[in-house]
């Protein structure tokens, strides 16, 4: 499991090195993208400057605030970084409170807390068992991402679990949402309702529940995929086989080319020998004159042979 945060729990003067792992997964099923309805191609979001009416690069985007009167404030990365607490790698324990005093509405993302140093595992176990035996949770502050959050630290089985909380000013007060207070429920109705809940709870196992929507979505996508031919792509798993076949093809090509190169070399050598033999008699002046004298009757003989051939009638085929 990949760690998403590394730091330590600060409990007074005791520091316990820990790592955080996400305990839940919000998008565990199929992820749907925004696509063009006509051809199914992906739709990309661009960074558009309203003032200049043009697209800009992501590197030119900053954080800012616009006052209702129109004034604008652009904050630099350095200014935002300076707002974080100096110790960004610390879970600071502020106090411990009863479990029942924490409103579940305020609870957010949960993280499994793992020990990061075997030398301090004793302190980890001490804090875990103390929270379990006392029935309390530790209220902490921690900087996750770009902001500081409230969080509770509690014992869960053999682990510590950190769960972020909303700040008190972030919790909305449900004014005017509840039913009218003058509605009364009779004892017999309450008893029957409790009996109904007991019947519904028989054989119930929370771990057996699943996301029906995700299962139906996966089935729809699987059916549609069967109707569509997959795009042609090289199978990464067959890369070794492709390389092996390529090597064999190259070796075979070289073996076939070797005799041709040898034959060509032989022809070149024979031609060179013939040229050398023709050049050797012409190394001196005297032999050159003798050859010229002897060539005269040869030319006559060749002419006579040509005449004889012309006179010989061609045999019918």
The DSSP 8-state label assigned to residue 168 in this structure reads G
Which one, of 200, 194, 32, 23, lies nearest residue 107 by Cα? 23
Cα(166)–Cα(201) distance, rounded to whole angstroms?
32
Buried b / exposed e over 92-101, threshold 16 CB at 10 Å, is: bbeeeeeeee
**Which is more confidently placed, 243 or 17?**
17
pTM score, whole prediction = 0.64
Instruction: Tell me the average pLDDT across 6-32.
Output: 88
Instruction: Tell me the average pLDDT across 61-73.
Output: 94
Phi, psi of 19 (to 5 degrees): -130, 150
Min mean pLDDT across 48-52, 86-90, 93-97 is at 86-90
Cα(160)–Cα(115) distance, rounded to whole angstroms?
9
Whose structure tokens read 């709870």?
201
Query: For residue 127, how many other CB atoms are within 10 A of its CB?
Result: 19
Burial class (CB in 10 A: 0-12, 13-18, 19+), 164: middle
Quickly state the pLDDT bin for 238 (edges 50, 70, 90).
low
Quickly state the pLDDT bin for 176 (edges 50, 70, 90).
confident
| Partners of residue 89 on adjacent β-strands | none
Tokens of 26: 């919000």
The DSSP 8-state label assigned to residue 14 in this structure reads E
Q: How far is CA 199 from CA 192, 202, 287, in A?
A: 11, 5, 129
Buried b / exposed e over 3-23, threshold 16 CB at 10 Å, is: eebebbbbbeeeebbbbbeeb
Phi, psi of 100 (to 5 degrees): -70, -15
Min mean pLDDT across 29-33, 127-131, 179-183, 257-261 is at 257-261
Cα(9)–Cα(93) distance, rounded to whole angstroms?
7
**Which is more confidently placed, 72 or 304?**
72
Cα(131)–Cα(215) distance, rounded to whole angstroms?
39
Cα(241)–Cα(243) distance, rounded to whole angstroms?
5
Q: Is 313 helix (H, G, I), strand (E, B) or coil?
A: coil
Cα(22)–Cα(153) distance, rounded to whole angstroms?
14
Give the contacts of 167 (CB within 8 A, at least 6 positions apart): 150
Q: How far is CA 110 from CA 19, 20, 104, in A?
A: 13, 9, 12
Whose structure tokens read 């519904």?
200
CA atoms within 13 A on the CB side of 109: 12
Which one, of 11, 31, 20, lies nearest residue 218 by Cα? 31
pLDDT at position 309 over 50: no
Q: Is 29 helix (H, G, I), strand (E, B) or coil?
A: coil
Mean pLDDT rounded to a whole number for the chain:
81
């Amino acid at each position: 499991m990949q760690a998403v945060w590394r730091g330590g729990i600060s409990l007074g003067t005791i520091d316990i090195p820990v790592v955080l792992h996400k305990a839940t997964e919000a998008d565990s099923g199929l992820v749907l993208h925004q696509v063009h309805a006509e051809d199914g191609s992906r739709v990309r979001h661009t960074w558009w400057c309203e003032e200049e009416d043009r697209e800009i690069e992501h590197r030119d985007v900053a954080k800012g605030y616009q006052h209702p009167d129109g004034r604008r404030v652009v904050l630099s990365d350095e200014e935002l970084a300076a707002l974080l607490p100096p110790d960004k790698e610390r879970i600071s324990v502020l106090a411990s409170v009863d479990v029942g005093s924490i409103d579940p509405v305020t609870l957010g993302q949960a993280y499994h807390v793992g020990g990061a140093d075997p030398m301090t595992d004793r302190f980890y176990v001490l804090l875990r068992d103390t929270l379990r035996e006392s029935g309390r949770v530790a209220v902490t502050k921690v900087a996750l991402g770009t902001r500081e959050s409230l969080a509770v630290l509690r014992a869960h089985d053999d682990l510590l679990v950190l769960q972020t909380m909303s700040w008190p000013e972030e919790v909305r007060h449900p004014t005017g949402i509840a039913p009218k207070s003058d509605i009364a429920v009779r004892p017999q109705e309450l008893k029957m309702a409790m009996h109904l809940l007991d019947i519904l709870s028989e054989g119930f196992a929370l771990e057996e529940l699943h996301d029906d929507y995700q299962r139906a979505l996966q089935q729809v996508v699987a059916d549609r995929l069967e109707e569509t031919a997959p795009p042609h792509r090289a199978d990464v798993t067959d890369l070794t086989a492709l390389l092996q076949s390529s090597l064999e093809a190259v070796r075979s090509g070289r073996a076939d080319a070797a005799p041709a190169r040898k034959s060509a070399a032989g022809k070149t050598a024979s031609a060179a020998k013939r040229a050398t033999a023709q050049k050797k008699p012409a190394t001196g002046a005297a032999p050159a004159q003798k050859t010229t004298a002897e060539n005269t009757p040869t030319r006559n003989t060749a002419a006579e042979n040509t005449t004889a051939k012309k006179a010989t009638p061609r045999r019918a085929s």
